[in-house]
């Protein structure tokens, strides 16, 4: 039953996913932020519509600037007003590091489109299902396994309550801390971000403490 991967295979796999995602998208992989954005899809959609309008306005201004340059001989490389405004916004709000590529396309520094976040969550479901089926671990069940029954509760009603409260704590906590085990733990610690190292140490330390309580005390 416990035909899980050895630690080194897991380490290489997790690292490859994180590195590949970062290098191909110039973004950090974060599941809790994907959840958050999908949950707030209405406001996210409004922002995307506004963003698209901004992009149209920017194209219009660029066209005017090009026509003006052609008419009056102004250098084509002169930044437009919107360029400057957008650049400031990125520097202040998007946490751009000291070696950020200044000439990167504007799109790369915007939040990932909402649909991509929903796709990430659905793909995790599909990937997990394929893994469970191919490893022979897939089994529809109405409990959380023997370990949960022995360590937390065997009562189905209590189990539902504990799972819900646990989920609320995870949701509230990850949003309050600004990330989870993938965003802070893998991507953030991988980039040596102090906030991610602190968050990971605290959430892991707390989980260790609570797990020892469940194992030895409760």
Query: Tokens 């959609």 — which residue?
Result: 45
Q: Which two tokens stand for residue 169?
A: 């704590």
Site mask for another protein (CB under 8 A), range 14-53, x = bound: xxxxxxxxxxxxxxxxxxxxxxx--xx-------------
**Any contact of residue 136 with another protein (CB under 8 A)?**
no
Contact 31, 194 (CB under 8 A): no
CA distance 34 to 39: 9
**Any contact of residue 10 with another protein (CB under 8 A)?**
yes
Q: Which two tokens stand for residue 161?
A: 């309550």
In our burial notation (b when 16+ CB lie closer than 10 A, e otherwise), range 35-45 reads bebbeeeeebe
Query: What does DSSP assign to residue 5?
Result: P
> Which region among 53-61, 63-71, 80-88, 144-152 touches another protein (by CB under 8 A)?
144-152
Nearer Cβ to another protein (74/206): 206
Instruction: Put residue 101 in one of left, alpha, beta given phi > 0 → left and psi -120 to 50 → alpha.
Output: beta
**Any contact of residue 145 with another protein (CB under 8 A)?**
yes
> Which region among 60-68, 77-85, 202-210 touches another protein (by CB under 8 A)?
202-210
Minimal distance, residue 190 CB to another protein, in Å:
3
**Any contact of residue 122 with another protein (CB under 8 A)?**
yes
Q: Which two tokens stand for residue 182?
A: 């993938």
Site mask for another protein (CB under 8 A), range 65-104, x = bound: -----------------------------xxxxxxxx--x
Residue selected from 55, 132, 154, 158 as contacting another protein according to rule CB under 8 A: 132
Site for another protein in 163-192 (CB under 8 A): 163-192
Residue selected from 138, 154, 155, 158 as contacting another protein according to rule CB under 8 A: 138
Name the nearest CA neighbour of 166 among 202, 208, 207, 197. Answer: 207
């Amino acid at each position: 039953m416990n035909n899980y991967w050895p630690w080194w295979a897991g380490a290489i796999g997790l690292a490859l996913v994180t590195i590949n995602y970062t290098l191909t998208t110039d973004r950090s992989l974060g599941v809790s932020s994907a959840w958050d954005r999908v949950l707030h899809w209405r406001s996210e959609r409004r922002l995307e519509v506004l963003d698209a309008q901004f992009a149209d306005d920017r194209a219009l201004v660029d066209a005017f600037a090009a026509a003006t340059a052609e008419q009056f001989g102004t250098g084509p490389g002169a930044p437009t007003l919107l360029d400057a405004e957008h650049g400031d916004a990125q520097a202040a709000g998007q946490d751009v590091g000291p070696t950020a590529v200044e000439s990167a396309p504007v799109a790369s520094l915007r939040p990932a489109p909402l649909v991509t976040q929903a796709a990430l969550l659905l793909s995790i479901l599909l990937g997990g299902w394929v893994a469970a089926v191919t490893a022979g671990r897939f089994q529809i069940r109405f409990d959380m396994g023997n370990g949960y029954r022995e360590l937390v509760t065997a009562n189905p009603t209590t189990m539902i309550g504990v799972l819900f409260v646990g989920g609320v704590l995870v949701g509230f906590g990850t949003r309050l801390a600004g990330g989870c085990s993938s965003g802070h733990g893998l991507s953030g610690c991988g980039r040596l971000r102090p906030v991610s190292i602190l968050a990971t140490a605290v959430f892991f330390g707390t989980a260790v403490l609570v797990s020892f309580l469940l194992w030895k005390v409760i």
